[in-house]
Structure 1
Amino acid sequence: PSGLPEAELWFGAHRARSSEVVDGRAPEGVDLPDVAYLPYLVKLLAADRPLSLQAHPDAMAAADGYRREEEAGIGRGDATRSFPDPGPKPELLCAVTRFEALCGFRPVPEAREVAGALGVADHILTLLDDREPEAWRHVVGAVLTGDRAADRGRDVHRLVDAARRVLEGQGPAAAGAPGVRSADAAGADLPTAEVQAAEVVCRLAD
């Protein structure tokens, strides 16, 4: 620890630095497995700002990616390496205080309607094609790795401004334009998908 507030503390058998039992004794009444590596990692999170976007491989993708990078001779400490070990990275979240997480993507037709209502840039909208099975892959790739740096900054500001207008009751989604609605278990109306998305955008921007 740095002595400053920490967003994450890790406990486990991580190759970079494994945790140790301070007094060197095994917990009483627990038979520890006779293995060299226990593939579990406990993370204590206390972040006050949104965490990074993460994509974790399943078992097959992790093993295949690790094998490819080993065969290519990419060092395990190389910053360009994506698979430093062959293990999958599923995660289980146990919240002790209020915690919000986003996981996965909306169906493409619904996402396109929401994106259009929020004024997402046309070059992104054209990639949201429900006839294209890799639509989300193309969208994420364009946003994260495209060469339109100036456009990306402008697109983000435009999206945030549009989201704020929606929440202030000035945007099409808040003004009663056709939108994707849902209901809770009791049948009560929930905010339109556009309003839900606008709330997320504004929280991430603030």
Structure 2
Amino acid sequence: MDRASYLKQLRGKLRRLPAHELDAALAYYEEYFEEAGEENEHQVISQLGSPSHVASQILADFALKDLETSSAKSTKKNMSAIWLIILAILSAPLSLPLLATAIALIFSFGAVIISLIFAIVATVMSIFVGGVVAIISGFLILTEHWPTALLFMGVGLIVTGLGVLLFPVVARVIKKTVVVSVETLGRLFHKMTKKRKKGDF
């Protein structure tokens, strides 16, 4: 493999990056080849590793950097970062057992995070719905026994208010959970690729 085909493969594997990031990454490696000189192309390729390996590192680093530097960590941006890291792990030239372990870990980790988010959302929704049901029940028995009706409506208003107040807190918890998930996946990826590098030498 020569420099041109190496960079062409690298470009293909980095196509999911934003255009300016893709151009910056390719410019860096083009300069790296130029500084080494044409006679040292094969040595540089050997030092860098395969285009898949380099691309997976770039994708993971970009996802983590983008997450850290973004002041408004939107859910969409967090999910994009997760997908980039998953893509980096899956595109890394790992051995079959290590790749199978990585896939199993990703799915297990994803299942735990989704279950946690679902449980939190379900709890808050049940609090809110319980409050609304209590208010409606109070109105329904207002003509039969007004003290009990007032008690139901009062409790319903308190519980509904609690549910409404919990929504922003839950949103922050979910965002933080996604951010921590991205960082954990990134660390996992770097750990796996470092182990592979040590095994190669």
- TM superposition score category, shorter chain reference: under 0.3
The structure richer in strand per residue is: 1
Max Rg structure: 2
| TM-score scaled by length of structure 1 | 0.26
The structure richer in helix per residue is: 2
